């Protein structure tokens, strides 16, 4: 079926473009502010104006810092965020995949009770568990370390990753599993030979979700990691703004830098994201 450009289709494009513009308004403010000089960004009556020139120094100071002024740049923190986000995302996705597999295809007695109990974990307000969390991590020797924060993100990632994979695997036909069983595969064999190779779209969804959340997470990171050389980029970003005079141009530049990895993932994996959502979350 070919589609000509009739009035209805023009209307659709107009609406899409209109919404795109509305969505981009804050992005424009963000970008324009990051390119402005301090005095310009401070003058809110000039909010909509283009920057008077390309003041790239806010990007430079956000990235490298200004050592003589005691200001640290974001560069090392970007690396910390990767150290944190990549392992935490991978581990929680693997756990979610295994849990989802077992809870969907190997329902042991009580599995139907355990799953909702697990799921409940994603709904708690995290402020309320900060203090026991810090004390527990300190007690097991993980206080103030990246490992501790990775553990935290893995644990609180279990509910959502399990949910997505469990729903995803529900679509995998039982016949496939039966066939592998007849070939003599055990619980792990089935996972490895049948389930895992089918899991890629599920992994894409989980990775995007976990990567975005862990990358942007602030509360745990700021509480659990004290050493500046370990802090992820969200905390460093917040620290670009002082407590008295806030150089928002630099903070905005920093925010754009911080958003690049997530954005890259959206652009590169966007298609698979929708495909994976389709496979995973359609069922309640």
Partner 1 sequence: MYRNMRWLVIASLVVLALVVGACGTPAPPPPEPTTPLPPPEDTPMPEAGTLEIFSWWTAGGEAEGLAAMYEVFEAQYPGVEIINATVAGGAGMEAKAVLATRMLADDPPDSFQVHAGHELIDTWVVAGVMEPVTSVFEDNDWLDVYPPGVIEVLSQDGEIWSVPVNIHRSNVLWYNTQVFDDNGLTPPTTLDEFFTVADALQAAGVTPLAVGDSGVWVDIHVFESVLLASMGPDAYRGLWDSTTDWNGPEVTDALEAFAQMMEYANEDHSALSWDQAAQLVVDGDAAMTIMGDWSEGYFKSVGLTPEVEFGYVPSPGTGGSFIMLSDSFGLPEGAPNRDNAIAWLTVCGSQEGQDAFNPIKGSIPARTDGDRSLYDVYLQSAMDDFASNEIVPSLAHGAAASEGWVTAFGDAMTLFVADLDVGAAQEAMAQACVDAGMCQ
Partner 2 sequence: MTHARRERWLAFLMVLPSIILIAIFVYGFIGWTARVSLSRWDGIRPDYTWAGLDNYKQLFAGGGSVAARRFAIDLWNTFFFTLLFLAACVVVGLLLAILLDQKIKGEGIFRTIYLFPMAISFVVTGVVWQWIFAPGTETRLRGVNALLHSVGLDALRWGWYTDTSSIGPFHVALIPVIIAAAWQLTGYTTAMYLAGLRAVPEELREAARVDGANEIGVYRHIILPMLQPITLSALIVLGHISLKIFDLIYTMTGRGTGFVTDVPGIFMFETTFQGNHYAQGATISIIMLLTVTLVVVPYLIYSFRREVEL
How far is the CA of 86 from the CAs of 150, 211, 221, 235, 260, in angstroms? 9, 7, 15, 17, 15
Residue 214 touches which member of partner 2, partner 1, none, C-beta under 5-8 Å by kind: none
**What part of residues 160-199 is at the interface with partner 1 (CB under 8 A)?**
none
3-state helix, strand, coil in the chain (%, to 5): 75, 0, 25
Question: Assign residue 72 a region: left if phi > 0, alpha if psi is -120 to 50, beta otherwise?
Answer: beta
Largest CA-CA distance found in the chain, in angstroms, rounded: 73
- Name the residue nearer to partner 1 (CB basis): 175 or 229: 229
> How many C-beta atoms surround the C-beta of residue 154 within 10 A?
22
Q: In the chain, how many H helices and how many E strands?
A: 14, 2
> How many C-beta atoms surround the C-beta of residue 140 within 10 A?
9
- Report if residue 207 touches partner 1, rule: CB under 8 A: yes
**Tokens for 176?**
């496939």
- Name the residue nearer to partner 2 (CB basis): 79 or 264: 264
Length of the chain: 284
- Report if residue 222 touches partner 1, rule: CB under 8 A: yes
Kindly calculate the radius of gyration of the chain based on its CA atoms and give it in whole angstroms: 23
Residue 70 touches which member of partner 2, partner 1, none, C-beta under 5-8 Å by kind: partner 1
| Residue from 35, 62, 78, 103 in contact with partner 2 (CB under 8 A) | 103
Here's the x/- map for partner 2, 223-252, by CB under 8 A: it reads as -----------x--xx---------x--xx
Q: How many whole angstroms separate alpha carbon 214 and alpha carbon 85?
A: 6
- Report if residue 74 touches partner 2, rule: CB under 8 A: no
**What part of residues 257-276 is at the interface with partner 2 (CB under 8 A)?**
258-259, 262-263, 266-267, 270-271, 273-276
**What part of residues 225-284 is at the interface with partner 1 (CB under 8 A)?**
226-230, 235, 238-247, 261, 264-265, 268-269, 272
Residue 2 touches which member of partner 2, partner 1, none, C-beta under 5-8 Å by kind: none
Q: How many whole angstroms separate alpha carbon 166 and alpha carbon 181?
A: 20
Give the interface with partner 1 as residue ranges (CB under 8 A): 38-39, 42-44, 68-71, 75-76, 78-79, 82-83, 86-87, 89-90, 130-131, 134-135, 137-138, 143-144, 146, 200, 203-204, 207, 222-223, 226-230, 235, 238-247, 261, 264-265, 268-269, 272
């Amino acid at each position: 079926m070919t589609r000509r450009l009739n009035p209805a289709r023009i209307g659709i494009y107009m609406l899409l473009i209109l919404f795109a513009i509305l969505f981009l308004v804050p992005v424009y403010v963000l970008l324009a502010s990051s390119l402005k000089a301090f005095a310009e960004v401070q003058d809110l009556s000039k909010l909509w104006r283009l920057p008077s020139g390309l003041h790239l120094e806010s990007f430079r100071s956000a990235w490298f810092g200004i050592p003589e002024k005691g200001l640290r740049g974001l560069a090392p923190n970007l690396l910390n965020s990767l150290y944190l986000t990549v392992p935490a995302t991978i581990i929680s996705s693997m756990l979610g995949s295994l849990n989802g597999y077992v809870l969907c295809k190997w329902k042991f007695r009580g599995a139907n009770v355990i799953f909702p109990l697990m799921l409940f974990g994603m709904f708690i307000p995290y402020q309320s568990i900060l203090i026991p969390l810090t004390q527990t991590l300190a007690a097991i020797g993980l206080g103030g370390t990246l490992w501790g924060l990775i553990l935290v993100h893995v644990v609180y990632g279990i509910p959502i990753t399990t949910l997505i994979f469990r729903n995803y695997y529900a679509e995998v036909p039982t016949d496939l599993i039966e066939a592998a069983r007849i070939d003599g595969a055990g619980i792990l064999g089935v996972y490895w030979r049948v389930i895992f190779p089918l899991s890629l779209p599920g992994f894409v969804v989980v990775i995007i979700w976990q990567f975005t959340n862990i990358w942007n997470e602030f509360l745990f990171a700021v509480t659990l990691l004290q050493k500046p050389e370990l802090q992820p980029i969200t905390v460093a970003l917040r620290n670009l703004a002082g407590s008295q005079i806030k150089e928002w141009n630099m903070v905005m530049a920093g925010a754009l830098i911080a958003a690049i990895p997530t954005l890259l993932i959206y652009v590169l994996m966007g298609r698979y994201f929708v495909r994976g959502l389709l496979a995973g979350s359609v069922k309640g």
